[in-house]
């Protein structure tokens, strides 16, 4: 209460900063994601946070890592892609919200798209004081369906953490205020990638190549080729996201200029689809006659040593966050990367590496040859790259930036877990879930695929027939049958004609008063679909509405 007796809102949550803050990260996986483990471990060890994690299962290598480090693991369900999952979506959100209310975390931070959406709704419903989403990459923001799902719910977050400048740009294009965006990179532990502590792998000896053999390398999983759908960015539809095929296709042009060059591809196939793509790449190498110049190494644990042995490391992705560019540059390895996603943040053309156009094997060959022809300049780029990585792209910097963000938001956060807020948010959240389910089930799964297949609204045959019968009935009532003139009927004999048979009336079919309206409506529909067909998904209507609104408010 102030001097006038009016109630004053609690200004800042100083009591949060005074005690040990409880932080929970949420991610829908039990494998990989070593970065999540490293972030929580260092937040606890360096800054004293009480950390927990919510995963989507009890078994997996990631679970074992957390439990071995003494970090508590909770479990929730994050699936919602199938139609049956949509019906259970509110219950999954409610269950996760119950966990959050019971644990009373001060900060909840989500990673990965599936856990981000459900975790975001649950944290908002539970009224967690500080709610954050750390976006692992721009992939889902470049695709139609996950982009609108994220855009429809991002307002529930206290702040968003894009992990590259390109993701930040995409969020700003969706109308997110810059004040709610904080770029924090997913940085690796630089102690693991110090060229002073590693010796180069003996790849040349393993394959009997001479010591001066130019060696090109790429470290990446072989991911499945992606389908053509609205969950996939247009740039990678029908392709594998890492695009090893482009690098293989670039080798003939490289061998023309540097005949002794060798390419090694490090990485295994990711699940069954990835193994099929790996087999396809092995077939491509054979078809191009490159079996002596391209080698598949499979899974290797000695990545730092491999990177140190490469003359050029390559990241050829079509959609990417930072890929393996940070690790390669930390090892001072000259880097060639495609100009996409967050790769342009770490690989600065002409300063820390060479950038090429994605999906262009000829340009990829050009970039690799540029470094092979000038080894001294290439090594200089690698040294510059390590310096930049140490300044901005390490685990140490990631955790420090997260700590600074946590403290800043905690100081200005309102008290959380207020029952009255959770109650009215439950009603509003139900409407949000209904909107998400309806738009995804009806528009994304049914309407848009039908339009893509050539279906148009006037192809409702039964409805068309019913509408036609209705129009004919209305027309008959508005325009009853008329007699037009009288036509004489010839009679052979006067005796056989009667008064009633001397004349006959000719009936004419009624005129359809809606004929002109029907043609005009059909033309307007054709013009509408021609308009839609000339534009990208979304049709620019949102942008036009924003422009109109801005013009009105300026007045």
Q: Return the CATH class of domain 191-392.
A: alpha beta
State the pLDDT at residue 100: 96
Q: Distance between CA atoms of 226 and 235, rounded to whole angstroms? A: 10
Tokens of 287: 């078809």
Picking from 113, 192, 185, the residue whose alpha carbon sits closest to that of residue 145 is 113
Q: What is the 3-state secondary structure (H, E, C) of 114-147?
A: HHHHHHHHHHHHHCCCEEEEEECCCCHHHCHHHH
State the pLDDT at residue 11: 45
Residue 67 reports pLDDT greater than 80: yes
Tens of pLDDT along 132-161?
Answer: 999 999 999 999 999 999 999 999 999 999
Picking from 154, 162, 157, the residue whose alpha carbon sits closest to that of residue 136 is 162
Provide the pLDDT confidence category of residue 254 given band limits of 50, 70 and 90: very high
Buried b (16+ CB within 10 A) or exposed e, 479-512: eeeeeeeeeeeeeeeeeeeeeeeeeeeeeeeeeb
State the pLDDT at residue 184: 96
Give Cα 295 to chain centroid, integer Å. 32
Q: Distance between CA atoms of 358 and 360, rounded to whole angstroms? A: 6
CATH of 22-187+398-444, one of 3.20.20.20, 3.40.50.2000, 3.90.1200.10, 1.20.1070.10: 3.40.50.2000
Instruction: Show me where the domains of the chain are located.
Output: 22-187+398-444, 191-392
Q: List Cα–Cα distances, 500 to 497, 504, 505, in angstroms.
A: 8, 9, 12
Give the ranges where 193-290 is alpha helix by DSSP (H).
Answer: 203-206, 244-257, 271-287
Tens of pLDDT along 439-482?
Answer: 988 898 888 888 888 777 666 666 667 777 888 878 777 765 45
Picking from 86, 530, 452, 78, the residue whose alpha carbon sits closest to that of residue 237 is 452
State the pLDDT at residue 512: 57
Run of H or E including 160: strand 159-162
Q: Distance between CA atoms of 240 and 515, rounded to whole angstroms? A: 53
State the pLDDT at residue 431: 92
Lowest mean pLDDT among 25-39, 93-107, 492-506: 492-506
Domains 22-187+398-444 and 191-392 agree in fold: yes
State the pLDDT at residue 487: 45
DSSP 110: E
Q: Distance between CA atoms of 482 and 326, rounded to whole angstroms? A: 86
Phi and psi at residue 54, to the nearest 5°: -115, 120
The contacts of residue 342 (CB under 8 Å, 6+ apart) are 137, 138, 163, 164, 165, 166, 167, 185, 320, 321, 322
Residue 494 reports pLDDT greater than 50: no
Tens of pLDDT along 335-373?
Answer: 999 999 999 999 999 999 999 999 999 999 999 999 999
State the pLDDT at residue 488: 45
Provide the pLDDT confidence category of residue 495 given band limits of 50, 70 and 90: very low
Picking from 361, 308, 320, 360, the residue whose alpha carbon sits closest to that of residue 344 is 320
State the pLDDT at residue 461: 64
Residue 97 reports pLDDT greater than 90: yes
Average pLDDT, the chain: 86
């Amino acid at each position: 209460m102030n001097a006038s007796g009016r109630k004053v809102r609690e200004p800042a949550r100083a009591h949060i900063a005074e005690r040990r803050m409880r932080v929970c990260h949420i991610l829908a996986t039990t494998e990989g994601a070593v970065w999540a483990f490293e972030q929580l471990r260092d937040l606890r060890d360096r800054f004293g946070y009480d950390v927990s994690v919510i995963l989507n299962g009890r078994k997996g290598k990631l679970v074992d890592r957390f439990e071995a480090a003494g970090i508590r693991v909770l479990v929730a369900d994050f699936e919602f892609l199938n139609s049956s999952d949509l019906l259970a979506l509110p219950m999954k959100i409610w269950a996760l919200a119950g966990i959050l209310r019971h644990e009373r975390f001060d900060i909840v931070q989500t990673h990965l798209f599936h856990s981000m959406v459900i975790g975001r709704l649950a944290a908002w419903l539970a009224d967690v004081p500080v709610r954050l989403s750390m976006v692992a990459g721009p992939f889902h923001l470049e695709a139609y369906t996950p982009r609108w799902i994220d855009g429809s719910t991002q307002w529930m977050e206290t702040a968003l953490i894009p992990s590259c400048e390109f993701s930040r740009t995409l969020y700003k294009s969706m109308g997110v205020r810059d004040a709610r965006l904080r770029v924090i990179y997913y940085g690796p532990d630089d102690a693991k990638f110090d060229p002073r502590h590693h010796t180069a792998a003996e790849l040349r000896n393993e394959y009997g190549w001479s010591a001066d053999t130019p060696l090109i390398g790429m470290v990446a999983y072989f991911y499945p080729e992606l389908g053509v759908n609205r969950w996939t960015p247009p740039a990678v539809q029908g392709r594998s996201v890492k695009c090893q095929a482009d690098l293989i296709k670039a080798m003939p042009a490289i061998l023309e200029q540097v005949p002794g060059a060798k390419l090694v591809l490090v990485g295994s196939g990711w699940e069954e689809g990835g193994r099929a793509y790996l087999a396809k790449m092995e077939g491509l190498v054979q078809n191009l006659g490159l079996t002596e110049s391209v080698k598949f190494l499979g899974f290797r644990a000695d990545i730092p040593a491999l990177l140190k042995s490469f003359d050029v490391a390559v990241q050829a992705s079509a959609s990417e966050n930072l890929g393996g560019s940070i690790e390669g540059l930390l090892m001072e390895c000259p880097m060639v990367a495609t100009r996409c996603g967050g790769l342009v943040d770490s690989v600065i053309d002409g300063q820390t590496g060479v950038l090429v156009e994605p999906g262009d094997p000829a340009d990829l060959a050009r970039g690799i040859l540029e470094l092979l022809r000038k080894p001294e300049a290439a090594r200089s780029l690698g040294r510059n790259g390590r310096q930049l990585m140490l300044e901005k792209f390490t685990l140490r910097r990631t955790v420090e930036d997260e700590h600074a963000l946590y403290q800043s938001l905690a100081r200005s956060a309102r008290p959380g877990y207020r029952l009255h807020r959770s109650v009215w948010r439950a009603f509003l959240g139900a409407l949000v879930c209904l909107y998400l389910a309806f738009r995804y089930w009806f528009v994304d799964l049914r309407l848009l695929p039908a339009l893509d297949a050539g279906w148009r609204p006037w192809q409702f045959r039964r409805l068309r027939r019913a509408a036609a019968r209705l129009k004919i009935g209305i027309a008959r009532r508005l325009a009853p049958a008329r007699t037009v003139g009288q036509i004489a009927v010839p009679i052979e004999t006067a005796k056989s004609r009667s008064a009633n048979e001397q004349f006959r009336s000719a009936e004419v079919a009624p005129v359809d008063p809606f004929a002109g309206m029907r043609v005009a409506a059909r033309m307007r529909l054709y013009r509408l679909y021609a308009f839609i067909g000339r534009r990208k998904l979304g049709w620019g209507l949102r942008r036009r509405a924003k422009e109109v609104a801005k013009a009105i408010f300026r007045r």
